Amino acid sequence: MPFTETENFTIKKRLGCLIRWGVGLAVLAGLGTAVAFFILRANPDLGRSGLNIAQRIYLQVYLDSRTEELAQPAGSGNLPVSFSIAPGETADSIVANLAAAGLLNDTELFGNYVRYHGLDSGLEAGDFLLSPQMTIPELAEALTEGKLREIDLRLLEGWRMEEMANYLATVNAAQIDADEFLAIARRQAPFDLSGYDFLASLPPEATLEGFLFPDTYRVPPDADAAYLVDKMLQNFGSRVTPAMRQAYGFYGLNLREAVTLASIVEREAVVHEERPLIANVFLNRISQEMKLEADPTVQYALGYDAASGKWWKNPLTLDDLAFDSPYNTYVAPGLPPGPIANPGLASLQAVAEPAQTDYIFFVVDCTAVTPGSHVFSVTYEEHLANVQRCR
């Protein structure tokens, strides 16, 4: 990426300013050769950059003044982006394509960084999976490695397995086929579960819903769907400790029942601190043989809502609450047949360590300062008053 005449003119002009500040005086005083020697000694890659001494000094000063920007994400967004460099493609074209893909906001800074480090001629042709959260140095390194980098996959708490598959289809990471992932999760594709002791009693008709532990996973370029499922199940096995599993038994729950309750808590809770309270409410209702009447179970039973384009229909209608499904806890007593989503560690811990109260009702508190907070009550009369207050 050679400098244009305009860029050379700008460099010379700015160097004139540096001279007036005293930096250029050292060069004009006959120290130019010595400065160049020490710069090259400290930065051996610069000897291959094709820059003259004036250009090197200018870019060093320029980059030193932009250290904060170099430590920030280079692009916009969070999802990984597939990016290709064609054989023989120019550095200018690559930079423009990076910007168009949302991977690079400051093309000038990137261009000057790769020029200074002599990387502009080393950008490799190939297919890459790049994150907008990479810094400019990380982005430059990735594009000069000539191979796919490991990529982070962020699978969110409370997603059902279909949402995880949709995310995987969007990011198109490594060799992970979203349809294969979903088939394994639904147990419609071969996958050996014998290595996971917590799944030993899983019914043959049950899916892996609830046990696909949501987390950030770094996967290599050759990772496939089975690799990711294995990592998620192993993660579940290590994060849900023997002490937690023992605590579930104290409350009369086997592991799958506890995961099922945790998945409801995950979908109900907005405020982190309320998870133990919500878990406590449902445990109290179970002990009193009351229906759970949890909206997320209805949403799960209804499935994909074409009108909104989402998996969790909101708001629900009275007809929805009467929907005939064993997962609808307004209709069916007790816990649903299985988890309705994949809960995170906080919800799994809340079921192991619930609050100790007599609450059996809760509703969104429209007067709360914190959005999504709930107000809890013991009696039905208190609950009705809380409901009426927000109407």
Query: How deeply is 338 buried, as exposed, middle or buried, from its count of CB atoms within 10 A (0-12, 13-18, 19+)?
Result: buried
In the chain, the percentage of residues whose pLDDT exceeds 90 is 64
Regarding whether 186 and 274 lie in a shared domain, the answer is no
Same domain, 49 and 124: no
Residues 147 and 221 sit within 8 Å (Cβ to Cβ): yes
145 and 176 assigned to the same domain: no
Residue 78: per-residue pLDDT = 78
Element (H, E) at 154: strand 151-154
pLDDT exceeds cutoff 90 at 53: no
How does pLDDT run across 226-246, given as a tens digit for each residue?
A: 999 999 999 999 999 999 999
Work out the angle between the directed axes of helices 225-239 and 178-185 (0-180°, nearest 10). Answer: 50
Q: Where are the alpha helices (DSSP H) in the chain?
A: 5-21, 23-26, 32-42, 53-64, 67-70, 91-100, 107-116, 136-145, 161-171, 178-185, 225-239, 242-250, 255-268, 275-287, 295-302, 318-321, 345-352, 380-389
The answer to whether 321 touches 298, Cβ cutoff 8 Å, is: yes
- Give the residue from 260, 388, 249 showing the smallest Cα distance to 336: 260
Handedness of CA 62, 65, 67, 72 (dihedral sign): negative
Q: Are 151 and 108 in contact (CB under 8 A)?
A: no
Number of domains the chain contains: 4
150-184 pLDDT, tens digit per residue, is 788 999 999 999 999 999 999 888 899 999 999 99
| pLDDT score recorded for residue 222 | 84
CB atoms within 10 A of CB 176: 22
Claim to verify: residue 232 and residue 276 sit in the same structural domain: no
pLDDT over 90 (residue 14)? no
Structure confidence at residue 213 as a pLDDT band (50, 70, 90)? very high
In a domain, 384, yes or no: no
Is residue 351 within 8 A of residue 218, CB to CB? The reply is no
Confidence class of residue 19 from pLDDT cuts 50, 70 and 90? very low
Residue 214 near residue 342, CB atoms below 8 Å: yes
Task: Judge contact between 173 and 128, C-beta under 8 A.
Answer: no
Query: Can you tell me the mean pLDDT for 46-50?
Result: 52
pLDDT tier at 71, thresholds 50, 70, 90: very high
In a domain, 300, yes or no: yes
* Residue 333 falls inside a structural domain: yes
Which CATH number characterizes residue 91's domain? 3.30.1490.480
Q: What is the per-residue pLDDT for 185? A: 98
- The pLDDT of residue 332: 96
- Of 130, 149, 168, the last residue of a domain is 149
* Domain co-membership, 39 together with 95: no
Out of 239, 270, 302, pick the residue that ends a domain: 239
Q: Which residues contact 95 (CB under 8 A, 6 or more apart)?
A: 104, 107, 110, 111
The Cβ of residue 122 has, within 10 Å, a number of other Cβ atoms equal to 16
Beta pairing, strands 216-219 & 151-154: antiparallel
Q: Do residues 263 and 336 both lie within one domain?
A: yes
Comparing 210 with 39, the larger pLDDT belongs to 210
82 and 124 in a single domain? The answer is yes
Residue 24 has pLDDT above 50, yes or no: no
385 in a domain, yes or no?
Answer: no
The answer to the question of residue 289 being in a domain is yes
Range of the domain at 311: 253-357
Task: Dig out the tokens for 349 from the structure.
Answer: 């811990």
352 and 311 in a single domain? The answer is yes
pLDDT attached to residue 179: 98
pLDDT score for 12: 55
78 lies in the same domain as 31 = no
- 75 and 36 in a common domain: no
Residue 104 sits at φ, ψ, to 5 deg, of -145, 120
In a domain, 212, yes or no: yes
41 and 100 in a single domain? The answer is no
Instruction: Give the percent of the chain with pLDDT over 70.
Output: 86
pLDDT of amino acid 36:
41
pLDDT digits over 296-341, tens only?
Answer: 999 999 999 999 999 999 999 999 999 999 999 999 999 999 999 9
- What is the per-residue pLDDT for 34? 43
> Is residue 328 in some structural domain?
yes
Distance separating alpha carbons of residues 205 and 189, to the nearest angstrom? 13
Shared-domain flag, residues 54 and 95: no
> Is residue 244 one of the residues assigned to a domain?
no
